[in-house]
Structure 1
Amino acid sequence: MKVATFILARLMPVWIVLFALLAVFMPKTFQSWDAATNPAIGFVLFIMGLTIDRSRLKGFMIRPSRPLLGSFGKWLIASIVSIVLAFLFFGVSEISYGVIMSGIVPSGTSANLNSLIGRGDLALSMTMSAIDTFIGPLITPLLAKLFIGSSVHVDYLAFLIKIMEIVFLPLTVGMFLQWKFSKFNTSIKPYAPIASAIALYILVLGVAGNASKSLLQHASILPILILCVIVQIVLQMGLGYGYAKLLRFDESSCRSVLFEVGICNSALATVLANDAFGPLAGMASMANMLCNLTLGSLTAAILASVPTHRLKVIRGGNKKPTAKSL
């Protein structure tokens, strides 16, 4: 089991890059996999429902100050970083609109998965994602109008129904099973990282295969675009972590904020950018998705081996214990 977890979950960045390249250069094989992307996301949320700490989640719902502060930081940091980098790298252009869209959408589902793998506070991550999900249809069009100068229409009802189907329903079912069948939860928990990683690989294959044509047609701009979105994601994650530290969050909470701020829902951004601004904008958001999946999983794999607390070293360790200390 340890070997399988290492190969399939800890080496996730390697597999994501390989699968993305495979789907881009063999699109006919994987274009049909696009239909499996929503079920794959839903399965990841189902696994999270089985493993989430329900007592922590209940505590955040009673006292929501921490997730509200985290969500505020996500919208502030991701929006500013995306706007500055978009105009710095591409000026006023179709591509810059796609870069901006990648930062003004709700946090991505993989942020929750990376919090799980990277020893973050999954309950905090899920609570922030829930807040993002409900306010996103209002904030995203507003920010697009403000910073891009164009209206992005979001069908709130259709968006809410989609989120209910692929996020809240599987999550709720997982939590119900955890509550009703605690032994089932204990037996399935060791397999959670592997199952979630496989579902994420299916998502990458489906999305990359479907975007292959646009990526290959504009291959010449890919290097500078990839550089831009890497800087975008790294800055967002770093500033998100620093923001949480300033608020005196504990280490596991800081890790969750890092992923929530750094990884936005680029799949949604791709659809919105492509519909509102054209294929080049959609391609920029797609590049962000591939990079945030890779960088996010790499960061999670690194943090998974780093404990969230350190044992305090007692100075003067050579001193003999006194009767009082004993």
Structure 2
Amino acid sequence: MIQAMGSALTTIGLPVALGIIMFGLGLSLTPGDFARVARYPKAVIVALACQLVLLPAIAFGLVVLFGLPPVLAVGMMLLAASPGGTTANLYSHLFRGDVALNITLTAINSVLAVFTLPLITNLAIQYFLPGDDGLGLQFAKTVEVFVIVLVPVVLGMLVRWWKAGFADRMDKPVRIASVVILAVVIVGAIVSNLELLLANFGILAGITVLFCVLSLTVGYVAPRLLRVDRRQSVACSFEIGIHNATLAIVIAQTVVGSIEMSLPAAVYGVLMFFVALGFGFLIRGRGTAAESAAGSAAGSSVDAPAERRPTS
């Protein structure tokens, strides 16, 4: 009975939880968040290139390196194709990133995911499961992805446009509701699939942690190498490094119809919080040290002329 309840929570609750999360995202968005691309063109282009090109390549390399079974391999690629979630905004705020840039990237990624997520998932299925015609995101299922991802966001934006004050008042309650519902659903999903999860946790823990570390590192280092300022690089790091695991789980279980395919996202969704927290403290420490060194250098350059001033 407990397993049946857990299954029902997963089937019904996960899409509902994701819908509330995406609706909450829409409540915080305005058309200006999309227009902001013109203010941060380099940061946006670098972040999107990392998100859409580098991360799927990294995930593919890790899948081959770890020798994952085919269904789990597709699940990893589905996770890599998932956009950043609203959690990225929270981490960016905690570690002094440019949250406005995060919001812009989340908005753009949510739109692009409607096209890129089915494409990457289908390519992964063709490569790892070439003889399985039952899986895949054909046109009808791609429409489901569109409904799951974009419709709640658009509704939230319409509410903000129509009643901005109401949207502001509802922002916090919607966030709290989404966290509570999601927590209940995740517990239900774990209970209903405990044996399957435990059987695969060992093989998935290492690859998901490494993927998270590499995603965060690429998201921070690539912009810095291309002279994007530090606050924007922190924002890019969390946007690229923190994937929307809930979206990947919903697509795997309710759209593709494979619980096993959702396991990489489920394991990642638990471990990612700790990895991202540690990474945040690491780059914050480096940023503080760099700022102190810059301050000392500036102080020395100001004092130097005084030392060379001739005495009468």
Q: Does residue 230 of structure 2 align to residue 259 of structure 1?
A: no
Contact 1:106 1:264 in 2 (8 A): yes
Residue in 2 aligned with 1:289?
269
Task: Tell me which amino acid in the other structure corresponds to 1:80.
Answer: A
- Report the number of matched residues: 289
Q: Using the TM superposition, name which of 133-142 and 54-63 deviates more.
A: 54-63
- Long gaps (5+) in structure 2: 131-135
**Which of 33, 37, 50 is equivalent to 1:60?**
37
State the Cα distance separating 1:140 from its structure 2 match.
1.9
The 5 A counterparts of 1:32-51 are: 34=14, 37-38=17-18, 41-42=21-22, 45=25, 48=28
- Measure, in 1, the Cα distance between the counterparts of 2:82 and 2:34: 23
State the Cα distance separating 1:217 from its structure 2 match.
3.3
Contact 2:46 2:222 in 1 (8 A): no
Contact 1:115 1:121 in 2 (8 A): yes
Contact 1:27 1:209 in 2 (8 A): yes
Contact 1:45 1:170 in 2 (8 A): yes
**Which of 160, 163, 167 is equivalent to 2:149?**
163
Q: Using the TM superposition, name which of 309-318 and 98-107 deviates more.
A: 309-318
The 5 A counterparts of 1:118-197 are: 118-149=95-126, 151-153=136-138, 155-170=141-156
Residue in 1 aligned with 2:291?
310
Residue in 2 aligned with 1:236?
215
Q: Does residue 191 of structure 2 align to residue 212 of structure 1?
A: yes
Task: Tell me which amino acid in the other structure corresponds to 2:112.
Answer: I
Contact 2:82 2:248 in 1 (8 A): yes
Secondary structure at the counterpart of residue 103 of structure 1: helix
Q: Does residue 81 of structure 2 align to residue 100 of structure 1?
A: no
Question: TM-score with structure 2 length normalisation?
Answer: 0.72
- Measure, in 2, the Cα distance between the counterparts of 1:272 and 1:37: 13
Contact 2:59 2:211 in 1 (8 A): yes
- Measure, in 1, the Cα distance between the counterparts of 2:159 and 2:95: 24
What do residues 46-79 of structure 1 show as CA deviations (whole Å, max 9, x unaligned)? 7855xx9x98875434664431331121122221
Secondary structure at the counterpart of residue 300 of structure 2: coil
Task: Tell me which amino acid in the other structure corresponds to 2:83.
Answer: P
What do residues 9-66 of structure 1 show as CA deviations (whole Å, max 9, x unaligned)? xxxxxxxxxxxxxxx9x969x87865762365257537855xx9x9887543466443
Q: Does residue 80 of structure 2 align to residue 88 of structure 1?
A: no
Contact 1:116 1:122 in 2 (8 A): yes
Choose between structure 1 and 2: higher helix proportion.
2
Contact 2:63 2:76 in 1 (8 A): yes
Contact 2:34 2:107 in 1 (8 A): no
- Name which one, 1 or 2, has greater alpha-carbon Rg: 2
Q: Using the TM superposition, name which of 194-203 and 270-279 deviates more.
A: 194-203
- Measure, in 2, the Cα distance between the counterparts of 1:292 and 1:252: 21
- Measure, in 1, the Cα distance between the counterparts of 2:188 and 2:114: 27
Identical-residue share of aligned pairs (%): 20
Contact 2:249 2:266 in 1 (8 A): yes
Task: Tell me which amino acid in the other structure corresponds to 2:269.
Answer: M
Residue in 1 aligned with 2:225?
246
Residue in 2 aligned with 1:269?
248
- Measure, in 2, the Cα distance between the counterparts of 1:303 and 1:43: 31
- Measure, in 1, the Cα distance between the counterparts of 2:286 and 2:155: 33
Question: TM-score with structure 1 length normalisation?
Answer: 0.69
- Measure, in 1, the Cα distance between the counterparts of 2:283 and 2:153: 25
Task: Tell me which amino acid in the other structure corresponds to 2:261.
Answer: A
Contact 1:97 1:273 in 2 (8 A): no
State the Cα distance separating 1:294 from its structure 2 match.
3.8
CA RMSD of aligned residues (A): 4.2
- Change in Cα spacing, 1:71 to 1:81, as seen in structure 2 (3 Å) is same
- Measure, in 2, the Cα distance between the counterparts of 1:33 and 1:129: 23
